[in-house]
Structure 1
Amino acid sequence: MNRQLSRADNLIHQFDTVLRTLVPGAAQLSRPTPASEDIQDEPLDADQRRHAAGLMRINHTGEVCAQALYQGQGLTAKLPEVRGQMEEAAQEEVDHLAWCDSRLQELHGRTSLLNPVFYAASFGIGALAGAVGDKVSLGFVAATEEQVERHLDEHLEKLPPGDRRSRAILRQMAIDEAHHAHQALEAGGARFPAPVKAGMTLVSRVMTESVYRI
């Protein structure tokens, strides 16, 4: 028989999730990285490696934000099935987080120092969206995942031609993000108007430009 989790249990679980999200190397994979051993890079010079690391750092922070967003929404979602969907999508985002972290290590890069700030902001936005209602919450997921898809497409074009391992990771992430967006809309998510999406794009640009170097 399943035991009902207490408030203390939930707080411990939330704290554990925060640590696994923000501490490099702590995320636990449920799927192996798409950058398998048979995918090898062509030689990358120092500038190409640095540039690839900057792009992968952006994607890693994006996954930190996604984790926080799903956690915040799952905390305040009204319907159990919506909470379950958030948890399932969050697990796939954990894989993305770990894949990006591992690739950063291969590129001799590091995760962003701004991750705690973006985590806190995204958690608050997610919790607020969930509190407003499941339709808005799911719509926010769909709009966010669409933004992430565009970033991934841009990064696939910007990566050094010889960086095959990063490219393999981003391609699988793009497939997953498109699936999450479709699921959210199918579950009844609201389609956000263009001005709202434009504002979200502006905010995401602030994140990408700051995280590339910091």
Structure 2
Amino acid sequence: MLKLPTLDQLIGEFDLALRTLSATASSVRPHPDAHIEESGLSAAEQQHAAGLMRVNHSGEVCAQALYQGQALTARDPATRDALREAAHEEVEHLAWTEQRLHELGSHKSVFNPLLYAGSLAIGVTAGLVGDRWNLGFLAETERQVGAHLASHLRTLPIQDSKSRAIVEQMHRDELGHADLAVELGAAELPAPIKATMTASSKVMTTLAYRL
């Protein structure tokens, strides 16, 4: 049975949203690129790498909102714990991508607040449908994010070892989240929902890459 959040919980969720959008994220694990030297990138290569890392950062902002909404409406404590754990790792991804953007002389996407709000609404809706579908949405989201990250590894400048190290670790983490959701009983989403998710992610990536 769905339990409505208390006022204190809602205040905590609002605080989480503010910290995701405005505070500097921190990472318990060492940054994957911590011991890698900066390589020389041309202006065009640096701009492209920054665009991809901005997309990845915005994707992690969306992930925080999705998991927050899904956890709020999850019925099973195990499902809720899995969503919270995944969200914790996504905070680390926020920290890694934010620092890399700074190193590349770039900025976070101006669309992040809008993307966060939309993702939170989607997460709440997914949770309301039921835990199996909630987990199915998590699994499919992580598969699609993994595919995006794999495509970034193909297009990042070959000498940008720092960005590559970050994306490679993120890719491993995302696929691990998808596997965990399946283990917990995720339902397979219908093809039209998967297609809608793919189309929505293309809009997000196009916006975040440029702005």
TM normalised by structure 2 equals 0.95
Percent identity reads 54
Shift of residue 31 of structure 1?
A: 1.4
Question: Cα distance, 1:93 vs. partner?
Answer: 0.5
List aligned pairs for 1:1-214, cutoff 5 A: 7-23=6-22, 25=24, 27-37=25-35, 39-214=36-211
Aligned-residue offset at 1:210: 1.1
Aligned residues: CA RMSD: 1.2
Runs of 5+ unmatched residues, structure 2: none
Q: Residue 210 of structure 2 aligns to a residue in which SS? A: coil
Tell me the distance in 2 between the aligned counterparts of 1:88 and 1:75. Answer: 14
User: 1:56·1:104 contact (CA, 8 Å) conserved in 2?
Assistant: yes
Structure 2 counterpart SS, 1:212: helix
> Which consecutive segments of 4 or more residues in structure 1 shift more than 6 A?
none
- How far apart, in 2, do the equivalents of 1:111 and 1:162 lie? 23
Q: How many residues align?
A: 207
Equivalent residue letter for 1:212: Y
Distance 1:153 1:33 in 2: 19
Letter in 2 for 1:20: R
